[in-house]
Amino acid sequence: ISWTGGSINLEEAGEAWRDPMSEIWPEDRSRNKKVELAPAGISQPRVSGVSGVSGDFQGKPRVCIPVFPGTNGEDDAFRAFSRTGAKALEHVFLDRKPEELDEALAAFARSIDESQILYISGGFSAGDEPDGAGKYIAAVLRQSRVADAVAGLLERDGLVLGICNGFQALIKSGWLVNGQSGIPGENHPALTHNRIGRHVARIVRTVATGADSPWLTQINRGDIHCMPVSHGEGRFTAAPEVLKSLAAAGRIAFQYCDSDGVPGMGGDVNPNGSDMAVEGLLSPCGRILGKMGHSERWRKGTLIDIPGMENEQPLISGGVGWFL
């Protein structure tokens, strides 16, 4: 910064500002390190063609949006899918009484059977109990009738998307990591408490690193998008060898990044402290995507004072367009 009669280096000014409190709150510079952009992955595509839809499907794709106790992103998702040409339907999971649960599971399975896309919303399902986010939805997704319905959806070239709480449920139900229902194993990737130990709510940037998925048909590798995050358990963590395997397979769809598209570990870039700055993950088949950033919350004319928020991440439109 320069002015009449003087100047000061911004880095020196920052050090002077931080120094008085450095002994009380020492800065962990290792968290500010940059990380590599995840590789594009395997050379053989998991999905092929501009549209991989099989059978005689015609018309608008139907989207099943279950409403579980405590989720809160259904209306945003309904608007986002409807705006991009899908027929979105909210399915209320009625479980007020024990005797209602059996029919609730059967009705949910039927709704999935009648749909081309399953979307799991964000929120705090069952108050993030018992002892962890997304466990209630994960238990539902592992139930035999629902699991069979999800498997059938994928067999007929359907898609699954989970955001925030939905991402947590897809991880904990086995669908996202293994491509099938199951209890997480010992080396299973996880979404755990944010590194700062509390809820974060802010705008983040992500860079697209995956390529081979119907969800990413309108997104190019290296594209940067801004979107809101709001969660207490969004830190993606996995053993180093698991991270390496996921990256090599091209399954890391998005990473938290700075304005130049460089992924990093600093709190200003990666607020939950996710390993390898992972924000979004693909299943082995590429048809299931889970992510923490709320792509569905974008609406024209909102947050226009934040650079980057003027453009919508074309994630949902890409998934819907896969069927059109």
Q: Is the pLDDT of residue 271 over 70?
A: yes
Mean pLDDT, rounded, for 284-294: 96
Q: Is the pLDDT of residue 18 over 70?
A: yes
Of the listed 164, 193, 225, 312, which one is catalytic? Answer: 164
CA 214 from centroid of its chain's CA atoms: 15
The model's confidence at residue 181, banded by pLDDT at 50, 70 and 90, is: very high
Q: What is the DSSP letter of 130?
A: T
Instruction: Tell me the CA distances in angstroms from 135 to 93, 224, 237, one per residue in order.
Output: 15, 31, 17
Q: What is the DSSP letter of 15?
A: H
Least confident span in 167-171, 233-237, 257-261, 304-308 = 304-308
Instruction: Tell me the CA distances in angstroms from 3 to 6, 7, 8, 17, one per residue in order.
Output: 5, 6, 9, 19
Site of tokens 């190019």: 220
The model's confidence at residue 140, banded by pLDDT at 50, 70 and 90, is: very high
**pLDDT given at position 127:** 63
Least confident span in 87-101, 137-151, 240-254 = 87-101
By DSSP bridging, strand 87-92 and strand 62-67 are parallel
Express each pLDDT in 47-96 by its tens digit: 544 344 544 556 899 999 999 988 889 999 999 999 999 999 999 998 88
Which residues, 6 or more positions from 40, have their beta carbon under 8 angstroms from its beta carbon? 209, 210, 211, 221, 250
Q: Is residue 294 annotated as a catalytic residue, yes or no?
A: yes
**pLDDT given at position 46:** 47
Mean pLDDT, rounded, for 136-162: 96
**pLDDT given at position 25:** 66
**pLDDT given at position 171:** 95
Q: How many CA atoms lie within 13 A of 107 on its CB side?
A: 14
Report yes or no: 136 and 94 within 8 Å, Cβ to Cβ. no
Q: Is the pLDDT of residue 125 over 50?
A: yes
β-pair partners for 48? none
**Two tokens, residue 130:** 């018992």
Q: Is the pLDDT of residue 256 over 70?
A: yes
Mean pLDDT, rounded, for 3-28: 79
Mean pLDDT, rounded, for 152-181: 95
Burial letters 95-127, b for 16+ CB under 10 A, else e: beeeeeeeebbebbbebbbebbbbbbbbbbbbe
Q: Which of 166, 186, 197 is nearest to 63 (CA)?
A: 166
CATH class entry, domain 62-321: alpha beta
Q: Is the pLDDT of residue 169 over 70?
A: yes
Express each pLDDT in 22-37 by its tens digit: 777 666 554 556 787 8
**pLDDT given at position 56:** 53
**Alpha-carbon distance 252 to 213, whole Å?**
11
**Averaged pLDDT of the chain:** 88
Mean pLDDT, rounded, for 120-146: 82
Of the listed 193, 225, 231, 294, which one is catalytic? Answer: 294
Would you call 77 helix, strand, or coil by DSSP? helix
Of the listed 74, 233, 279, 296, which one is catalytic? Answer: 296
**pLDDT given at position 45:** 43
Q: Is the pLDDT of residue 288 over 80?
A: yes
**pLDDT given at position 50:** 38
